[in-house]
Every structure is written in C-alpha cells, then in structure tokens.
Amino acid sequence: MPTIAPDADAGAGTSLIPAELQAFVNIAEAWGLSTDEQLILLGSPGRSTYFKWKKDGGALPKDTVERISHVLAIFKALQILLPDETAADGWVKRPNTYFGGQTALEVMLSGFAELYSVRAHLDAQRGG
C-alpha cells in the first residue's frame, strides 16, 4: 500500500511511492527476484535511481510504467490460471515448453517485446 502524505498546498493526498512501483516490489518479492532482475524488468534504470524511487517516490518514466503494467498483468493472469499462490508465484521460474524450455523469467529478462510476449501468452491461456 502506498504511503500517503497530506499536501497542505493542494489539499489532496500525494503518494510518496507510486502505487504501481509498490505493487511491482510486492510481486518481485513473491517471485523471489534479485535486484538485478528487478532492474532489468523495469528497463534498466540505475541502481541509485531505483532505490530512490523506492525510498522517496517520484514520477516514473512512461516506459517503466508500461513495463510494470505488463508484470502486473502477468501476475494477475497467473493468479487466475493457477489459484494456488505457491504454484502461481513459482511458475515464472519453472522451465516451460512453450518458451523452448526456458523459464518465463528468462524470456521476460530478454527484452521489452519478450516481456509482452509472456503477457500475451498468459492472456490467451486465460481467454483474455
């Protein structure tokens, strides 16, 4: 859950950590991703940039937000297809014949198009 701090000037709440980044961090933890794997999935921002986002928040680049949206969709599809949480979270690290014996994570780490292809595969599997 994002941290909300009141904004006295605007009279509205301001999220210190973008909700999409917090969701990504939670998924990365569930999937057991290393920091390096997280950075690659986010489009390879600098380590210091990533840790600053996690600590202080701030606006995320459009590319990073799009990448996170694919990870969120993959996570959601897995939760639907594999209702057992352990099985769903472990799927990304198990070899898959659809990906030529590679894990979905290996495919996702190969590039943006590959990240999208994993999402598209799962969306097709769930009929979405």
- Sort 124 into a burial class: Cβ within 10 Å, 0-12 / 13-18 / 19+: exposed
* Residue 58's pLDDT band (cuts 50, 70, 90): confident
List, for residues 64-92, the tens digit of each pLDDT value: 999 999 999 999 999 999 989 999 999 99
Q: Which has more pLDDT, 123 or 15?
A: 123
List, for residues 96-119, the tens digit of each pLDDT value: 999 999 999 999 999 999 999 999
Predicted TM-score of the model (pTM): 0.85
What is the structure's pLDDT at 78?
97
- Of 113, 99, 101, nearest to 43 (Cα)? 113
Q: Hey, where are the domains in the chain?
A: 4-125
Q: What is the dihedral of CA 31, 108, 24, 127, to 10 degrees?
A: -90
Q: What is the dihedral of CA 50, 55, 57, 58, to 10 degrees?
A: -60
What is the structure's pLDDT at 7?
40
